[in-house]
């Protein structure tokens, strides 16, 4: 996303052909972008920094935070590309697969019905609480998260923008009605019985687990209670665009901020990297805190490779006065 001569935003992301879906209000359809790099080659060399770089950024107050899966690993939720990353072992279902047929949807909901208990049972960790503490003191002005686990909200950051949606909500692709995941879970329980616990099976970052085909085959999927349409978790699948109004809102938050602090994101896909690019182009300082290199390292004022929970807690305690 860039600015044209008239000062309006212009989308510079090159995607494949998009078509609107009349049965899916407000969304667009694109081809999957699972591993597609947003830039050619590998990540640029990082500019190493430390806690003082984070403190210096936050001292200006009014900093926007962009968080990724690395912030939630201390809550027991695995990430895709970090030290506990599972992207190479688990290929998430794409939007196109989910909408293509009932068999794919049965597989998704059967696996998610078991794995969702791990996500809903997770609790905010020290990093989430530190971000909320920094927000209360005015050092952080806005929180944008790529995570779908709802842990920022659970930590008290009620206005955190969930860029990719939330697993605790369900959307009907037919009528657009939203409902709670708790309600759907109760209906799936009535249709299929109580699912087994996730112990001993691998829970993936998108909230599902690996299940044998025979357990998936007989699973019954619940339709929308209002229109009988197809239900989908209210999250942005791979191969699906973030709703444009949400993206525009995030741009405004970054534009109003004094700088951008990235927490626990590899910035591999454009949904997060575009905000780093936008901040850097506007001349705002960008500090990236992530264990491992990211695709935004070359745009950062400093990169910091430290564990998020202890680092952010120490900074929040230091700055609260």
Please report, for the domain that includes residue 131, its CATH number.
3.40.50.1220
Among 34-38, 229-233, 268-272, the minimum mean pLDDT is found in 34-38
Average pLDDT value for the chain: 83
Residue 308 resides in a domain: yes
Confidence at residue 91, expressed as pLDDT on a 0 to 100 scale: 66
| Alpha helices for 193-307 (secondary structure H) | 213-217, 244-256, 270-281
pLDDT at 278 over 70: yes
Q: Are 290 and 306 in contact (CB under 8 A)?
A: no
- What's the pLDDT tens digit per position in 130-146? 999 999 999 999 999 99
Q: Is 161 helix (H, G, I), strand (E, B) or coil?
A: strand
pLDDT band for position 196 (50/70/90)? low
Per the domain annotation, does 10 fall within a domain?
no
Q: Is residue 19 situated within a structural domain?
A: no
Sign of CA dihedral 36, 41, 42, 47: negative
Banded pLDDT at 172 (limits 50, 70, 90): very high
CB neighbours (10 Å) of residue 96?
Answer: 16
Instruction: Give me the numbers of helices (H) and strands (E) for the chain, helices first please.
Output: 10, 13
- Backbone Cα Rg of the chain: 20
Average pLDDT over residues 259-271: 95
Give residue 36's pLDDT band: very low, low, confident or very high (50, 70, 90): very low
d(CA 70, CA 82): 7
In sequence order, which residues have a C-beta less than 8 Å from that of residue 119 and are 6 or more positions away?
77, 149, 167, 203, 207
Would you state the structure tokens that stand for residue 224, as one six-digit string?
Answer: 């929308």
The Cα 156–Cα 135 span in angstroms is: 10
Rounded mean pLDDT, 185-209: 72
pLDDT number for residue 12: 33
164 belongs to the catalytic site: yes
Q: HSE-up of 280 (CA within 13 Å, CB side)?
A: 17
Q: Is the pLDDT of residue 201 over 70?
A: no
Is 43 part of any domain?
no
- pLDDT for position 93: 86
| pLDDT attached to residue 153 | 97
If phi > 0 it is left, if psi is from -120 to 50 it is alpha, else beta; for residue 91 that is beta
pLDDT at 267 over 50: yes
What is the spatial distance between Cα 80 and Cα 203, in angstroms, rounded to a whole number? Answer: 12
Confidence of residue 300 (pLDDT cuts 50, 70, 90): very high
Domain that holds residue 238: 49-319
In this structure, what are the phi and psi dihedrals at residue 242, rounded to the nearest 5 degrees? -65, 135
| β-bridge pairing 165-172 and 178-180 | antiparallel
Residue 291 pLDDT: 92
pTM greater than the 0.85 cutoff? no
Lowest mean pLDDT among 38-42, 243-247, 279-283: 38-42
**What span, in angstroms and rounded, lies between the C-alpha atoms of 8 and 246?**
17
- What is the sign, positive or negative, of the torsion defined by CA atoms of 311, 312, 317, 321? positive
Which of the following is catalytic: 87, 139, 152, 164?
A: 164
> Is 273 a domain residue?
yes
Closest CA to 67 of 145, 171, 166: 145
Whether the predicted pLDDT of 62 surpasses 80: yes
What's the CA gap between 25 and 17, in Å, rounded? 18
The answer on pLDDT for 310 being more than 90 is yes
Whether residue 229 is predicted with pLDDT greater than 80 in this model: the reply is yes
> If you search the block for the tokens 């690019």, which residue do you land on?
277
**Annotated binding-site positions for Zn(2+):** 172, 175, 224, 227
Which residue has tokens 């926007």?
Answer: 64
Within a domain: 242: yes
- Whether residue 37 is contained in a domain is answered as no
- Of 271, 273, 276, 307, which is closest to residue 292 (Cα–Cα)? 307
Q: Which residues are annotated as a binding site?
A: 146-149, 172, 175, 224, 227, 264-266, 290-292, 308
Averaged over 28-36, what is the pLDDT? 34
Find which of 41-45, 87-91, 124-128 is predicted with most confidence, using mean pLDDT: 124-128
Task: Match 């989430």 to its residue by tokens.
Answer: 128
Question: Which of 83-92, 103-112, 154-163 has the lowest average pLDDT?
Answer: 83-92
- Range with lowest mean pLDDT among 19-33, 222-236, 298-312: 19-33
Contacts of 103 (CB under 8 A, 6+ apart): none
Q: What is the mean pLDDT of residues 166-190?
A: 95
Between 111 and 222, residue with greater pLDDT: 222
Is the predicted pLDDT of residue 95 greater than 70, yes or no? yes
Q: How many domains does the chain have?
A: 1
Q: How confident is the model at residue 195 (pLDDT cuts 50, 70, 90)?
A: low
> Is residue 36 in a domain?
no
């Amino acid at each position: 996303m860039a600015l044209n001569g008239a000062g309006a935003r212009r989308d510079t992301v090159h995607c494949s052909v998009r078509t609107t879906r009349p049965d899916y209000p407000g969304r667009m359809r694109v081809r999957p972008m699972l591993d597609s790099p947003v830039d050619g080659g590998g990540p640029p060399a990082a500019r190493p920094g430390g806690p003082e770089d984070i403190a210096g950024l936050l001292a200006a107050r009014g900093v926007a935070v962009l968080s990724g899966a690395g912030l939630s690993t201390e809550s027991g939720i695995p990430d895709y590309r970090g030290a506990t990353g599972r992207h190479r072992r688990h290929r998430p279902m794409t939007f196109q697969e989910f909408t293509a047929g009932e068999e794919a949807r049965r597989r998704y909901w059967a696996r998610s019905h078991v794995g969702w208990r791990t996500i809903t049972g997770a609790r905010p960790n020290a990093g989430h609480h530190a971000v909320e503490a920094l927000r209360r003191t005015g050092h952080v002005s806005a929180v944008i998260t790529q995570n779908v686990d709802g842990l920022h909200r659970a930590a008290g950051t009620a206005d955190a923008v969930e860029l990719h949606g939330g697993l605790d909500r369900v959307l009907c692709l037919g009528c657009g009605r939203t409902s709670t995941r708790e309600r759907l879970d109760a209906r799936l329980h009535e249709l299929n019985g109580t699912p087994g616990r996730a112990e001993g099976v691998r829970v993936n970052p998108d909230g599902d687990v690996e299940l044998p085909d025979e357990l998936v085959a007989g699973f019954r999927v619940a339709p929308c209670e209002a229109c009988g349409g197809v239900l989908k978790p209210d999250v942005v699948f791979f191969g699906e665009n973030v709703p444009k109004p949400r993206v525009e809102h995030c741009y405004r938050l970054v534009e109003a901020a004094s700088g951008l602090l990235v927490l626990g994101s590899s910035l591999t896909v454009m949904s997060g990297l575009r905000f780093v690019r936008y901040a850097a182009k506007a001349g705002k300082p960008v500090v990236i805190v992530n264990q491992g290199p990211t695709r935004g390292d070359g745009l950062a004022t400093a990169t910091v490779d430290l564990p998020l929970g202890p680092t952010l807690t120490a900074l929040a305690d230091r700055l609260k006065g």
